[in-house]
Amino acid sequence: MDNKNYRSSKKNNIKKNNSKNNSTKNLGINLRVTEEERKLIHEIAKEYNMSVSSYIITQCTENKNELIQLIPDAVEAWNVLNEILHAMKSMSDAQLIEKLNSILNAYKQKNIQNWGDICNGRNN
């Protein structure tokens, strides 16, 4: 999932969760932050068209499974990077280019989302 789609999906989840919290709120929590943290929280809450309170509550109560789903992709990317780095140390330029083409072709075959566009120099 690319960054743009991830943020869009996150915004939709936040709006859904926010609409569920219609009960009377009469308790408060104090939170100490630095000036930079305060500014960042305000900016992000504004980006989601939410109050700071709603944003913080949503972030604390939202299901975080979507991040866990990204772990296999991150591990796979790390393994490919390792493979490339080891190839760089031990191969001539021609062998390295052949190895990189092999890696790219393998990922095209796996139909990794957007991989074809990345390989062809197109971005969404």
Residue 56, domain member (yes or no)? yes
pLDDT tens digits, one per residue of 75-112: 888 888 888 888 888 888 888 888 888 888 877 777 55
Sign for the pseudo-dihedral over CA of 39, 41, 44, 49: negative
Tokens (6 digits) for 60: 């604390």
Tell me if 41 sits within 8 A of 57, measured CB to CB.
Answer: no
Q: Give the range of the structural domain holding residue 50, as residue numbers without chain letter.
A: 3-64
Give domain status of residue 124, yes or no.
no
Same domain, 37 and 79: no
Residues 15 and 41 in one domain: yes
pLDDT number for residue 122? 53
Tokens of 99: 């190895």
pLDDT of residue 123: 47
Does the pLDDT of residue 124 top 50, yes or no? Answer: no
**Residues 58 and 13 placed together within one structural domain of the fold:** yes
Domain boundary among 24, 43, 64: 64
Q: What pLDDT digit, counting tens, does each position of 15-57 carry?
A: 555 555 557 878 888 889 999 999 999 999 999 999 999 999 8
Same domain, 23 and 58: yes
Whether 113 and 93 share a structural domain = yes
Residues 15 and 35 in one domain: yes
Residue 81 lies inside a defined structural domain of this protein: yes
Predicted structure pTM score = 0.37
